[in-house]
Chains A and B, each alone.
Chain A
């Protein structure tokens, strides 16, 4: 046996409340002019005091409950003290000895359907810091003559989720983060966007030796996508193995992932660990979590991803893979269900939503439900194909036009005259012309090359500019050719 990575994650989830954790300022900082969503509280001005955002607490509780955590009924905030220009009070209000949730469990469902239990050590609330802006080409501090600070993000509510080191491969770590991202989206508590920083992951990794001993762990920072998480862990694991095989030992330290260079670099040694001088935040009262609050939060809990997937499989006969594709975002699944409710078969609806609509959405950087197409609109289009009124090919074109113009399928079809030629006589005429002009293909077909029929059907479609009903065209061509064979 060889080496095995042992991975634990610390994940910061930015909550999607409208106001900040301890003041009424807006949390909508992306694209906002620097230092416009600020007040004395989130600027840490002398004399200001925090007041807890009740909704943020509720959101955090939702996460804790969905991760099947125990909940501390009497919890509190601590101050984590350190100096940094983006931290306006020089302390972060966070939780320390009594986190909101602890001892949870997440069942990570791997692609093969196997379940890998990941233990959750703690779930706690804290406030975000501001952002340093370095006016250099790279945006990094190196070489900057000065730095600017934007406090729009200061005080935005975060939930930190810490797992036990229960993952044994970079893929598992990626799968876990992906599943967690899906979970917070389902819970409606975060947009879970890693690129925008709504979901931030720090990874701890150590290496288990063949003899069962484990190396010191390193912490990896700057993981801004699922891909960089997986790559960074792979590289770091390989580095640790090289160190061990070279007779050295892994140093306990924090390492920075350089996505472009594809490697991790030492940031600081854990020996020079900072003393945060935690103590209970005197400006906030201890927080009492009542039975009422727990039961009402449980009651408002939406359908969770794994429940939805099970239902998609049992109600619509989808495979696990299909259910997962559809259930990745709840909005997609809901869209699908509404298309089916309009009378489209599950199989067709699945393909319309996850292939056609998804394709158009991806090209625009949107999600299928964000295109302005309603499930009813898509269903009416799908039904036109089902009934043979238009070809699948033209239907795809119609869908693109629906997205572009916002008009209905019916309008577009009639305007473009896309209604299929289902008239046997008319098609027979076209087929005869095609046979007359493509003698070579005809001979090949008669000589036993069945594929030539497709070519001839294609010619019919071409002549009718796609309006021919392809099944009908094929049947007519086949009939005519069989006549020749005799």
Chain B
């Protein structure tokens, strides 16, 4: 191989393919080889579609040869989270209850990726039904953080983040309901974007909490994040919540001069205990941005403390309804049972893990008659307050800078025994989902032990384009994040 394909950006790969400098088959072979060599250790992927990828790569090769191939992601390997439907390819959501299910249709984002010439390499591991912050709740075993195999990659999109950090693909897709893209992006040292609610179609994303879920990309290069959003950030008539008017545009994005940028710092962050490395990364980032001419203003999110409890009512409520359909009647593992009720009980009792059951129970409880007003309705009001906090803050600044997670990647088992400590991992990301706005996690350096430290940029409604343009500039400042030192053979 003439070039180091694995280290290249998606944008470079696509243009090399277009110029016939490299064939899609060579690209596919290179990344499949990388996966074969290292995924045994990382376990980022639940399914690798070797056969399908090579078949498609050969088709693309023929089309490129005929000069017919078009697309932003020509020959670019992409991994998608296992809660995104892929036609004929297993889609389990990290759950036993969907084991063996092959959807008869592609999610809209998958159609869009394919239309741009991408190669769908495989499906990424995740916490069961995206409920978790470490991938430890995957029914098929956890993914490891490629920067330190003894630590979690974050979650729930831990597989997607680890795949990019491990150079299994330049771009992957995850989903973010309360931080499930940004937190693993921070833990694995890559970019992760949670778009504004409605920017990316949810059609084909297996629902966890419908009013909070949003698909978004991971990448090692900011330009690839932009590229991915150009491919998937489009209106979809099959999703009623897809934004029709006022959508951000993703073509023609360019690095945004940091000079004059008004960056908000949240006063209430001081109420939370941060890991030392996170704190110093934040301080370092502020100094560097100031050095580039950005200005800082203090903003207040007075209802920040209510975001977490609010989220843990709204999300389980919706989940209890969304996950009710897994009953063994139409798809997934079934059971022999003397009655319909027994069938439901057996299938669901066996199929769901403990965390999913916990959230279904919480959600069922808060929606029950007699409790609805006290919990669900109150949470909806709190949600409105959180959203208006952000509205007020964005009248004083262009974007907000804060930690993605209060901590560095933690060790396996450290938090599984205490659900609340796990939930706290998302305390800075959840408010963004509640408000339906956008957030981006970028790598701001490494701890003394070499663990990535991520920071979060939060933008107002529909300002996804601004976040991406700022990320392009930050990359010039902070450099491209390092690949994980898996075998040591890559610098």
Chain B residues within an 8 Å CB radius of A395:
none
**A40 closest partner in B (C-beta):** B105
Complex Cα–Cα for A84 and B241 (A): 27
**Given contacts A83-B344, A285-B241, are A46 and B91 in contact (CB under 8 A)?**
yes
Contact segment of B147-155, B225-233, B318-326, B409-417 = B318-326
Docked complex: A143-192 residues within 8 A CB-CB of B: 149
Tell whether, in the assembled complex, residue A91 and residue B324 are in contact, meaning their CB atoms are under 8 Å apart: yes
Tell whether, in the assembled complex, residue B321 and residue A91 are in contact, meaning their CB atoms are under 8 Å apart: yes
Chain A residues within an 8 Å CB radius of B202:
49
**Given contacts A44-B325, A85-B340, are A277 and B240 in contact (CB under 8 A)?**
no
Tell whether, in the assembled complex, residue A46 and residue B98 are in contact, meaning their CB atoms are under 8 Å apart: yes
Complex Cα–Cα for A79 and B322 (A): 10
Docked complex: A267-311 residues within 8 A CB-CB of B: 275, 277-279, 282-285
Chain B residues within an 8 Å CB radius of A85:
327, 329, 340
Interface status of B211 (Cβ within 8 A of chain A): yes
Kindly provide the distance from the CB of B337 to the nearest chain A CB, expressed in whole angstroms.
11
Chain A residues within an 8 Å CB radius of B318:
279, 282
Which of A44, A47, A81, A83 makes the CB contact (< 8 A) with B103? A47
Tell whether, in the assembled complex, residue A284 and residue B317 are in contact, meaning their CB atoms are under 8 Å apart: no
The CB with the most chain B CB atoms within 10 A, among A45, A50, A85, is that of A45
Chain A residues within an 8 Å CB radius of B91:
46-47
Contact segment of B45-53, B119-127, B363-371 = B363-371
Chain B residues within an 8 Å CB radius of A47:
83-85, 91, 103, 105, 107, 203-207
The CB with the most chain B CB atoms within 10 A, among A79, A90, A277, is that of A277
Kindly provide the distance from the CB of B233 to the nearest chain A CB, expressed in whole angstroms.
18
Tell whether, in the assembled complex, residue A277 and residue B321 are in contact, meaning their CB atoms are under 8 Å apart: yes
Kindly provide the distance from the CB of A81 to the nearest chain B CB, expressed in whole angstroms.
5
Chain B residues within an 8 Å CB radius of A83:
324, 327, 341, 344
Kindly provide the distance from the CB of A82 to the nearest chain B CB, expressed in whole angstroms.
9
Q: Majority SS of interface residues in chain A?
A: loop
Q: Majority SS of interface residues in chain B?
A: loop
Q: Mark A43-75, 1 if CB is under 8 A from B, else 0.
A: 111111111100000000000000000000000
Docked complex: B326-370 residues within 8 A CB-CB of A: 327, 329-331, 340-341, 344, 364, 367-369
Complex Cα–Cα for A50 and B239 (A): 7
Interface status of A5 (Cβ within 8 A of chain B): no
Chain B residues within an 8 Å CB radius of A91:
321, 324
Tell whether, in the assembled complex, residue B317 and residue A279 are in contact, meaning their CB atoms are under 8 Å apart: yes
Interface residues on A, range: 20 to 34
Kindly provide the distance from the CB of B197 to the nearest chain A CB, expressed in whole angstroms.
10
Chain A residues within an 8 Å CB radius of B206:
46-47
Complex Cα–Cα for A305 and B317 (A): 46
Interface status of A89 (Cβ within 8 A of chain B): yes
Chain A residues within an 8 Å CB radius of B367:
81, 277-279
Interface status of B93 (Cβ within 8 A of chain A): yes
Kindly provide the distance from the CB of B330 to the nearest chain A CB, expressed in whole angstroms.
6
Interface status of B376 (Cβ within 8 A of chain A): yes
**Given contacts A45-B105, A49-B202, A277-B364, are A79 and B321 in contact (CB under 8 A)?**
yes
Complex Cα–Cα for A398 and B321 (A): 64
Docked complex: B222-259 residues within 8 A CB-CB of A: 237-241
Kindly provide the distance from the CB of B332 to the nearest chain A CB, expressed in whole angstroms.
9
**B329 closest partner in A (C-beta):** A85
Tell whether, in the assembled complex, residue A46 and residue B93 are in contact, meaning their CB atoms are under 8 Å apart: yes
Interface status of B210 (Cβ within 8 A of chain A): yes
Tell whether, in the assembled complex, residue A45 and residue B241 are in contact, meaning their CB atoms are under 8 Å apart: no
Tell whether, in the assembled complex, residue B211 and residue A282 are in contact, meaning their CB atoms are under 8 Å apart: yes
Kindly provide the distance from the CB of A129 to the nearest chain B CB, expressed in whole angstroms.
13
Complex Cα–Cα for A282 and B209 (A): 9
Chain B residues within an 8 Å CB radius of A8:
none
Chain B residues within an 8 Å CB radius of A282:
209-211, 241, 318
List A residues at the B interface (Cβ < 8 Å).
40, 43-52, 79, 81, 83-85, 88-91, 149, 275, 277-279, 282-285
CB-defined A-B contacts under 8 Å, sample of 25: A40-B104, A45-B103, A47-B91, A47-B105, A47-B107, A47-B204, A47-B206, A48-B204, A49-B238, A51-B237, A81-B320, A83-B327, A83-B341, A84-B340, A88-B325, A88-B329, A90-B324, A277-B367, A277-B368, A277-B372, A279-B367, A282-B209, A283-B240, A283-B241, A284-B240
List B residues at the A interface (Cβ < 8 Å).
83-85, 91, 93, 98, 101, 103-105, 107, 202-207, 209-211, 237-241, 317-318, 320-321, 324-325, 327, 329-331, 340-341, 344, 364, 367-369, 372, 376
User: Besides A47-B85, A81-B324, 6 other CB < 8 A contacts?
Assistant: A45-B330, A46-B103, A47-B83, A49-B239, A283-B207, A285-B240
8 smallest CB-CB distances across A and B, nearest first, come from A90-B324, A277-B367, A282-B211, A282-B210, A46-B206, A47-B204, A47-B85, A47-B206
